[in-house]
């Protein structure tokens, strides 16, 4: 090999090493940016899931308190309970899946008091939609969720006094 051929060989080898280093650097940067974007998206999704769970919890609690107060004739705390309920509804409308918002609308337009059968059915459907939006399995309709939610005592409950 002549000097000129040797210089050309080393120049080609040097270019190949430089090109490999540049490609490695670019690949590393793309990987870091992609990883950062995915991490940010996961963080936002986790935060949204927590907001959703908090809104659902607050809504269920506020509904229960308001219905209990109305059934017992207690009206002194109704304004605060309505405010809590409306706050939770607003948060659900902002951060919940469309199916949950639609189920909430159905429940609310039925009356939202849990006094009539169609309201109880709408509330049960809302609970099912909330469950699914949190990533839980869809409950079959053989599971009588409305009985679980609205029966005051289990079917084996006895009013008999055990001291007799």
pLDDT one-digit tens code per residue, 61-109: 998 888 877 777 777 767 888 889 999 999 999 999 999 999 999 999 9
Max mean pLDDT range (66-70, 110-114, 148-152): 110-114
Instruction: Provide the residue range defining the domain that includes 125.
Output: 33-150
What's the domain count of the chain? 1
Q: Is residue 42 part of a domain?
A: yes
3 state DSSP class of 10: helix
Residue 148 above 70 pLDDT?
no
Q: How far apart are alpha carbons 144 and 164 in whole angstroms?
A: 34
Which pTM does this prediction carry?
0.65
Q: Is residue 48 part of a domain?
A: yes
The first and second tokens of residue 21, run together, are 């280093």
- Contact, 52 vs 133, CB < 8 A? yes
Closest CA to 70 of 61, 81, 60, 59: 81
The first and second tokens of residue 95, run together, are 């951060």
Q: What is the reported pLDDT for 146? A: 62
Q: Is residue 17 part of a domain?
A: no
> What whole-number percentage of the chain has pLDDT above 90?
26
Produce one character per residue of 1-15: b if its CB has 16 or more CB atoms within 10 Å, e if not.
eeeeeeeeeeeeeee
pLDDT digits (tens, 9 = 90+) for 32-61: 988 888 888 888 888 988 999 999 999 999
Q: Is residue 58 part of a domain?
A: yes
Q: Is residue 113 part of a domain?
A: yes
3 state DSSP class of 70: helix
Q: Is residue 98 part of a domain?
A: yes
Q: Is residue 6 part of a domain?
A: no
Q: Is residue 93 part of a domain?
A: yes
Nearest 5°: phi and psi at 143?
Answer: -80, 115
Q: What is the reported pLDDT for 93? A: 95
Q: What is the reported pLDDT for 116? A: 85
- Contact, 81 vs 69, CB < 8 A? yes
Position 164 confidence tier, pLDDT thresholds 50, 70, 90: very low
């Amino acid at each position: 090999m002549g000097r000129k051929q040797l210089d050309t060989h080393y120049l080609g080898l040097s270019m190949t090493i430089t090109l490999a280093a540049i490609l490695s650097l670019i690949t590393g940067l793309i990987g870091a940016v992609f990883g950062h974007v995915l991490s940010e998206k996961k963080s936002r999704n986790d935060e949204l899931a927590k907001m959703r769970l908090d809104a659902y919890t607050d809504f269920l609690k506020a509904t229960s308190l308001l219905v209990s107060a109305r059934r017992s004739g207690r009206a002194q705390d109704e304004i605060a309970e309505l405010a809590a309920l409306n706050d939770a509804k607003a948060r659900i409308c902002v951060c919940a899946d469309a199916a949950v918002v639609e189920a909430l609308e159905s429940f609310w337009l039925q009356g939202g008091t849990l006094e009539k059968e169609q309201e109880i059915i709408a509330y049960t459907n809302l609970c099912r939609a909330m469950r699914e939006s949190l990533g839980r399995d869809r409950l079959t309709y053989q599971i009588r969720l409305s009985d679980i939610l609205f029966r005051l005592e289990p079917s084996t409950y006895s009013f008999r006094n055990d001291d007799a």
